[in-house]
Amino acid sequence: MRRVYDIIFEVFRYRTIINEILHNIDFENIYQNYTQMTLLVWLMSFDYYRNKFKPRKLDENETISFKALKLLEIADILKDIKIQLAASFSKFKIKHCALSLSDMLPRHLRNERFKKSSETIISCWINTFLTSPEYVVNVLKKAGLSQMKNFEDLVSETFKMDHLLPYFIHIYPKEKSEFLNKMPLFQKYLLILQERRYCLGPAMLDRTMSANKLCGNVAQT
């Protein structure tokens, strides 16, 4: 499931670029039956690009799922026009003097920022069943980390509480793997590793329910 979320996230990062590349080969006019399936076309086009324009090998269950979602149809079309599609990707990069698609992203979406977030900053939530935010903050400060107010201010050996998600914290240690191995907060399950983007939906739902004074059980499907 995490792989699914990751590729969807990547597709939305690159959607403007993918859309222009498809527009350059007149995809929407030639294949008008798929104008209502734009998101799926983006998804398959980006996946095709990542696989160096080679068809994805599917097992029996994947084939059934792809067929039900009409992804096989899109995959067959992309296979038929792979030369034009590959050329359109290449021309787009040449036009923008870019070595990769990521070089053409707006500054706030470029790989460097996401690389920094995923490889150096630890995102986790405080297990309030076992501890309190105050205790966690004190432990981190005693370990030599300074508390920041803004995410942009995070540098090595700092941390901050999330401004939107309750009991969620971002930690920027000097060395990530060593910090995770030695910090007792993780060994004792006082801090639970979790990517922030997977928490935004539940947090927004919680706020909506609270604002409208709703109560009851919520089932995630």
Give the dihedral sign, CA 170/173/179/184. Answer: negative
CA distance linking residue 19 with residue 208, whole number of Å: 33
CA distance linking residue 121 with residue 138, whole number of Å: 19
CA distance linking residue 62 with residue 3, whole number of Å: 14
Domain with CATH 3.30.70.1170 in the chain: 114-212
Both structure tokens of 34:
């798929």
Right CATH number for 114-212 from 3.40.190.10, 3.30.70.1170, 3.40.1180.10, 3.40.1440.60? Answer: 3.30.70.1170
Burial state string for 158-167 with b = 16 or more CB within 10 A and e = fewer than 16: bbbbbeebeb
pLDDT in tens, 148-174: 988 777 888 999 999 888 899 999 998
pLDDT of residue 63: 87
pLDDT of residue 117: 54
pTM: 0.48
Measuring CA to CA, which residue among 48, 35, 43 is closest to residue 80? 48
pLDDT in tens, 13-49: 888 999 999 999 999 899 998 888 998 999 899 888 8
Alpha carbon 112 to its chain's center: 14
Low-confidence ranges of the chain (pLDDT < 70): 1-6, 107-119, 218-221
pLDDT of residue 112: 47
The set of residues, in sequence order, having a beta carbon less than 8 Å from that of 60 and lying 6+ positions away, is: none
